[in-house]
Amino acid sequence: MSEFLDTYHRRIDYMRISITDRCDLSCIYCTEQAVPCLAHEEILRYEEIQRIVQAAARLGVKGLRITGGEPLVKSNISKLIELLVQVEGIDDITLTTNGALLGRYAEELKAAGLKRVNISLDTFKADRFKEITGSDKLKDVLDGIEAAKKAGLTPVKINTVVMRGINDNEILDFARMTASEGWHVRFIEMMPLVNPGNKGSKMVSVREIRETIEGSIGELEPCLATSGRGPAKYYKLPNAEGTIGFIGPVTECFCATCNRFRITADGRLRPCLLEDDEIDIKGPLRNGAGIDELEELMKKAAVLKREKHRLNETYTHGQRQMWQIGG
């Protein structure tokens, strides 16, 4: 098998698959305005996703991440996991969720073959949770975290988007959880995808977050990633079982090592998160395209991958909102 490379000789071995554009939360950094959800027939079927993954695996893709919207609002998601586990060459299947429904499905997902989960959580305060997500499901999310750990979907990673004036005063609370509860917390810079003309107003840089932690708790020691193929840089507090990761898409662009592309819920190959370049794969698939043809479409998508994003240059809002892309 030859390596799957883009124009800039970056190896592609990771695919994020959005299986729905629906979500049971409405986070302020994800949703800008109400947009009609896709009709059922526009969404890729599970067997179609498996076929796409078979082609991707033949090219060298090894890791998959299932996303949404919120993937757990889809019915019978364990069936999809079972189908993907069967694909030769795939060795890692993970899922990103807001956690509100995870308590209900954690055991079932583990039994189906899911390896681990990333859970979005930006606050421990109920009123603030409702401000950020439009929901009062904080307890459900916390229960979901515990259910994931109990089911063995480990290491459970907590994704925290830090927003100035909203939840930046909870940085230390999240950091301390890596020592007291063994959490694996990843602090993420807020990208200017909602109201990009006001970029930077709420974004807290990973440098600031790290300085806050080290100035109050203790020096962070670099460490290896516990798992995964993502861009986070990992550290530990002294004697902590958990880790602290930093993802800085705005101030510490990691495009040079980008190893991924995306499939949208309506069957579009999307080479870059922050660009509107897309290639239709659902149409050819439903018209009888074979594995070789699907591979060629993926190779075309790889050619479209940009060298880097433009968040610090001339970026303007794309045609899709974050919940329509899968993050």
What interhelical angle do 102-112 and 138-151 show, nearest 10?
A: 20
pLDDT digits (tens, 9 = 90+) for 166-213: 999 999 999 999 999 999 999 999 987 655 444 457 899 999 999 999
Residue 5 falls inside a structural domain:
no
Domain count along the chain: 1
Instruction: Determine the straight-line distance between the first and last CA of the chain, rounded to whole angstroms.
Output: 29
What are the beta bridge partners of residue 268? Answer: 280
pLDDT digits (tens, 9 = 90+) for 3-32: 899 999 999 999 999 999 999 998 887 766
pLDDT digits (tens, 9 = 90+) for 69-104: 999 999 999 999 999 999 999 999 999 999 999 999
In the chain, % of residues over pLDDT 90: 76
pLDDT for position 197: 46
- Least confident window among 206-215, 238-247, 312-321: 312-321
Out of 11-20, 24-33, 251-260, 307-316, the most confident range is: 11-20
Average pLDDT over residues 269-285: 90
Q: CA–CA distance from 156 to each of 152, 194, 206, 289, 306 (Å)?
A: 9, 28, 21, 38, 31
Give the domain CATH number at 308. 3.20.20.70
172, 213 contact by CB (below 8 A): yes
Banded pLDDT at 58 (limits 50, 70, 90): very high
Residue 117 falls inside a structural domain:
yes
Banded pLDDT at 226 (limits 50, 70, 90): confident
How many other C-beta atoms can be found within 10 angstroms of the C-beta atom of residue 236? 16
Q: What is the mean pLDDT of the chain?
A: 90
Residue 4 falls inside a structural domain:
no
pLDDT for position 31: 67
Domain that includes residue 318, residue range = 14-325
Strand locations in the chain, DSSP E?
Answer: 14-18, 63-67, 92-97, 116-120, 157-162, 184-189, 221-222, 233-236, 244-247, 260-263, 268-270, 279-280
pLDDT digits (tens, 9 = 90+) for 130-142: 999 999 999 999 9
Instruction: Give the DSSP H or E segment for 142.
Output: helix 138-151
Residue 3 falls inside a structural domain:
no
Gap between the Cα atoms of 113 and 98, Å rounded: 20
Gap between the Cα atoms of 213 and 217, Å rounded: 6
Strands 116-120 and 157-162: parallel
Residue 262 falls inside a structural domain:
yes
pLDDT for position 302: 92
Residue-level length of the chain: 327
